[in-house]
Amino acid sequence: AESAPDGPLLSLPTEHQHVRYNPLRDDWVLVSAHRVKRPWQGQLEKPPPEDVPRWDPKNPLCPGATRANGEVNPKYEGTFVFPNDFPALQPDAPEPDDSDHSLFRAAPARGLCKVMCFHPWSDLTLPLMSLPEIRAVIDAWAELATELGASYPWVQIFENKGAMMGCSNPHPHCQVWASSFLPNEARLEDQSQRQHLSQHGVPMLLEYAEQEARRKERLVVENADWLVVVPYWATWPYETLLLPRRHVCRLQDLSDSEKDSLASIMQRLLIKYDNLFEVSFPYSMGWHGAPTGSYLEEDCRHWQLHAHYYPPLLRSATVRKFMVGYEMLAQAQRDLTPEQAAERLRSLPEVHYKKRAE
């Protein structure tokens, strides 16, 4: 692990820069809260369109529509899972040739990529869906994690929401990539959580959730089974971490009641996100849990299930945080403290801005 910066952090300054340690990734983030006051003359993003048609025969994710490969979608009424027509991973890729030098290494990469539509309507996002509809999404996630995890060591469920995060289709959906290898973020989290359990006798994120539940200064929403915090080491302005209160290694290990309460807390968080700037809030999110495949036979008690939400917006619906320059060449940097971000999210109403007049 890296050594700590010179001098202990005895208090958390809100106006002065300091660095914070991220134990999950074994790295540091620079917090420069005073920078949020600087004038902005940079790029302004376009807000997402408000007039997305509910059904469009030209939209390849809609029920009954024809996709790029000529396949016709069924007229689905709930969730719908299908193979990605342009997969980044395929199950039968050939092995790369042996390297003639240690600086030019390659390794096999095989897998499967699937797309999952959340709902048949294109104009409906997760925070506007009903609790049973969100629960159906969670059930489908758990089923895919079980199915693909039977043979693949890593199953990455992730949602890119909004054009700002590279989403090329407004229809509510996510992707699921199963790989024959542990990706970089998974390897980092595996190492750090394993080390923490060895040194402290308790899973890192279970201990962290208990601490955050007691301290409350970074808490956004909570219920009997879950809590959402802006993590102490958050990089993105309104980044959040979704954590179970009990020790759970994998999404498929959740009980029915925990899935119900997960649907509720996801809805509450995502409504707050939309209410922050009264816009369909862009983000990338994904689940991290214990590896699967051959790891199902190994001791993975050091793992704790969790979901990361990484939203880019900083000041408004049109001003985002750019991870460039210093972030790419030195280390991550953020422009307001996690405590400030959590307080702002926590204070927002839990009725969606589009439904207040109803």
At 196, list the tokens: 């923490």
CA gap 311, 348 in Å, rounded:
16
Which residues does 260 contact at the CB level (< 8 Å), separation at least 6?
A: 131, 135
Q: What is the dihedral of CA 349, 355, 356, 358, to 10 degrees?
A: -150
Under a CB-based contact definition with an 8 Å cutoff, are residues 71 and 61 in contact?
A: no
C-alpha pair distances (Å), 298 with each of 214, 293, 346: 32, 10, 39
* Alpha carbon distances (Å) from 202 to 3, 102, 195, 302: 22, 38, 10, 8
Contact yes or no for 148/296 (Cβ under 8 A): no
Q: Kindly write down the DSSP assignment for every residue of 108-124, as one continuous string.
A: ---EEEEEEES-S-TT-
Is 355 domain-assigned?
Answer: no
For residue 41, what pLDDT is reported?
Answer: 53
> What pLDDT score was predicted for residue 7?
45
**Domain interval for residue 297:** 201-349
Within 8 A by CB and 6+ apart from 22, the residues are 28, 29, 231, 233, 235
State pTM to two decimals: 0.93
Q: Which residues pair with 240 in a beta bridge?
A: 309
Task: Tell me the C-alpha distance between 136 and 259, whole Å.
Answer: 9
Coil, helix or strand for 101? coil
**Which residue is associated with the tokens 């299930």?**
305
In a domain, 57, yes or no: no
What pLDDT shows up at residue 12? 58
Annotated binding site for UDP-alpha-D-glucose: 35-38, 68, 84-85, 160, 166-168, 175, 321-322, 326-327, 333
Does 149 reside within a domain? no
Angle CA 144–22–325, to nearest 5? 95
What is the distance between the alpha carbons of residues 273 and 146, in angstroms, rounded to a whole number?
30
Work out how many domains the chain is built from and give that number.
1
Question: Is 107 part of any domain?
Answer: no
Q: Cα(225)–Cα(135) distance, rounded to whole angstroms?
A: 15
Task: Tell me the binding residues for Fe cation.
Answer: 189, 288, 306, 308
Has residue 337 been placed in a domain? Answer: yes
**Residues of the binding site:** 35-38, 68, 84-85, 160, 166-168, 175, 189, 288, 306, 308, 321-322, 326-327, 333
Tens of pLDDT along the chain (358 residues)?
444 444 444 455 566 899 999 999 999 999 998 665 555 455 666 677 778 899 999 999 999 999 999 999 999 999 999 999 999 999 998 899 998 999 999 999 999 999 999 999 999 999 999 999 999 999 999 999 999 999 999 999 999 998 888 887 889 999 999 999 999 999 999 999 999 999 999 999 999 999 999 999 999 999 999 999 999 999 999 999 999 999 999 999 999 999 999 999 999 999 999 999 999 999 999 999 999 999 999 999 999 999 999 999 998 888 889 899 999 999 999 999 999 999 999 999 999 999 986 6
168, part of any domain: no
Query: What is the 8-class DSSP label of residue 3?
Result: P
In a domain? residue 257: yes
Q: Pick from 141, 91, 136: which is nearest to 113 by CA?
A: 91
The CATH number of the domain where 231 resides is what? 3.30.428.10
* Angle at CA of residue 166, ends 162 and 167, nearest 5°: 50
Query: Residue 208 and residue 230: Cα distance in Å, rounded?
Result: 12
Is 173 considered catalytic here? yes
Q: 147 in a domain, yes or no?
A: no
What residues are paired with 27 via a beta bridge? 22
Tokens of residue 82, six digits: 């299908």
Run of H or E residues at 309: strand 306-310
Query: Two tokens at 88?
Result: 């980044």
Given the residues 119, 171, 173, 302, select the one marked as catalytic: 173
